[in-house]
Chain A
Amino acid sequence: EVHLVESGGGLVQPGGSLRLSCAASGFIFSNHLMSWVRQAPGKGLEWVANMKQGESEKHYVDSAKGRFTISRDNAKNSLYLQMFNLRVEDTAVYYCARELYDGSGMAYDYWGQGTVVTVSS
C-alpha cells in the first residue's frame, strides 16, 4: 500500500528556516515525479514545487524561487523541501504528492496527510 508521510513542520519566526521531509513507501519511489503542494488557512491549494525522478529537473512557484529547495534521495525513498527566509505568507499545510505518471499534467494520485508550517513572531 502506498504511503506518504510528511514531517518537519512547526512554528518558526519570519526569516527562519525549516526542512520538510516526506517518507514514501509501498511503491518504486524513483519511478515517480514528486511535488509539494500547500494550503494556507482559508485559501485554496497552491502548487509549490516538483522534481523529476532523476533528481535533476526541478520547478518552483515564483514565490518560492530563491528561498525553497526541493530535493530527493531515491535510495532513502524520501522527498525534501528546504525552506529559507520564511515569510508569514508561507504559513500553510504542506503536502507531498505523487504524480500518477510523468506528463499527466499534475495528476496526483497519492498525498500525504500534510505537515503544518506556521511562520509567526
Chain B
Amino acid sequence: QSVLTQPPSVSAASGQKVTISCSGSSSNIGNHYVSWYQHFPGTAPKLLIYDNNERSSGIPDRFSGSKSGTSATLDITGLQTGDEADYYCGTWDTSLRTGVFGGGTKLTVL
C-alpha cells in the first residue's frame, strides 16, 4: 500500500485530455513539492514535473501539474500513442523521513 494514492489506470482517446490524481497527507504533499515521472518499462524514469507545476527541461507544454492541499494532479492534453506509459507522483514525507512514490498509473491511449 503506497503512501501516495494514484488510480491504477486511466484511459482516453488520442487527442483528448487525461488527468491523473495523487492523494496524500499533510506530512507529504501538504508540505512538500510534488514531482511527476513518466516510466516506460525497461528504461529509466523521466522527470516531467517538479515543484508541483514546473516542467522539466524538454517536456512539452501538453504536460502540466498542479497541487491543492494534500492532493496533486498531472494533466496531459493532446494525447498521443507515445504517451502510453506508467506515471508516478513523488514527494518527501516529513513523518516517515523518507521519499514516497504513488503506486503508479498506467495510461492507455485509445
| Complex-state Cα separation, A103 to B100, whole angstroms | 14
Q: How large is the interface on B (under 10, 10 to 19, 20 to 34, 35 or more residues)?
A: 20 to 34
CA distance A106 to B57 in the complex (A): 16
Give the contacting residue for B33; candidates A62, A105, A108; CB below 8 A.
A105
Contact B44 A105 (CB under 8 A): no
Name which residue of chain B comes closest to A96, CB basis. Answer: B44
Q: Which of B44, B98, B103 has a CB less than 8 Å from the CB of A112?
A: B44
B35 with A106: CB separation less than 8 A: yes
Tally of A interface residues using CB under 8 Å: 24
A44 within 8 A of B: yes
CB distance from B47 to the nearest CB of A (A): 5
Contact B101 A47 (CB under 8 A): yes
Interface residue A71 (Cβ < 8 Å from any Cβ of B):
no
B91's closest neighbor in chain A, by CB? A105
> Complex: how many Å from CA A51 to CA B90?
17
Partner of A47, one of B33, B51, B90, B103: B90
Q: Are B45 and A111 in contact (CB under 8 A)?
A: yes
CA of A74 to CA of B29, assembled, Å = 31
Contacts A107-B35, A114-B44 given; does A60 touch B98 at CB 8 Å: yes
CB of A59 within 8 A of CB of B101, answer: no
* B50 and A45 contacting across the interface, CB-CB below 8 Å: no
- Cα–Cα distance between A37 and B100 once the two chains are bound (Å): 10
Instruction: Indicate if the CB atoms of B99 and A100 lie closer than 8 Å.
Output: no
Residues of A within 8 A of B (CB): 35, 37, 44-47, 50, 59-62, 95, 100, 103-109, 111-114
Q: Can you list 20 residue pairs at the A/B interface with Cβ under 8 Å?
A: A37-B101, A44-B86, A45-B45, A46-B101, A47-B98, A47-B99, A95-B45, A103-B33, A104-B33, A104-B35, A105-B34, A105-B90, A105-B92, A107-B33, A107-B50, A107-B51, A108-B37, A108-B45, A111-B46, A113-B44
What 14 additional pairs, Cβ within 8 angstroms, besides A95-B44, A112-B44?
A37-B101, A44-B104, A45-B101, A47-B90, A47-B100, A100-B50, A103-B33, A106-B90, A107-B47, A107-B51, A108-B35, A108-B45, A109-B56, A113-B43
